[in-house]
Amino acid sequence: MGRPVTKNELLSAAMSGYKTMNETIEGLSEKEMSEPFDFSEDEKKKEAHWKRDKNVRDILIHLYEWHMLLINWIAANEKGENTPFLPKPYNWKTYGEMNVKLWEKHQETSLENAKQMLSESHAEVMKLAEKFSETDLFTKGAFKWTGTSTLGSYFISNTSSHYNWAVKKLKAHIKNCHAK
């Protein structure tokens, strides 16, 4: 399925991606769960996140924190507070630094807590997406605070696209574990 362009597609892709990610995690062996992520041997994996995330918890917390960015951004703007998606001092050129801070914040969070936090934030994001109409989600300019993007694109980026990113990373980790 391509990138969602309707509310139903957005909701379906988000649920499907979340389910696939959880099934991938549930299917990890004991070794795959305990072995730290290490993508240093793969020259194609140059983006910072390949070095940042060291385990399943790190992925789940990353997703949770981005859910919270979305939830809080929408809430603030609906209250009339003109709030950018990324909190100050970050912007789209420096959000990698923010991701590192979010990673650091959760180094004492347990895997079980990370799973619970993500489950709850996913449910909240889905409930939030449900409340918006298709026009709200997919019409540019429906909300001044979404700029040149649609609100739906933010939901897609923080759900199905992000879940696909997580699955890709988990599969790369599984492949690494079997190569050792």
Question: Both tokens of residue 58?
Answer: 């790190």
Query: For residues 128 and 50, what is the distance between their CA atoms, to the nearest angstrom?
Result: 30
CATH number (1.10.1740.10, 3.90.1150.10, 1.20.120.450, 3.30.300.30) of 47-179 reads 1.20.120.450
At 102 the pLDDT is 97
Residue 81 CB burial class (10 angstroms; 0-12, 13-18, ≥19): exposed
Segment 18-44, tens digit of pLDDT: 999 999 999 999 989 999 999 988 889
Residue 127 vs residues 37, 98, 100, 131, 139: alpha-carbon distances, Å: 32, 26, 28, 7, 20
Segment 73-108, tens digit of pLDDT: 999 999 999 999 999 999 999 999 999 999 999 999
List the chain domain ranges.
47-179
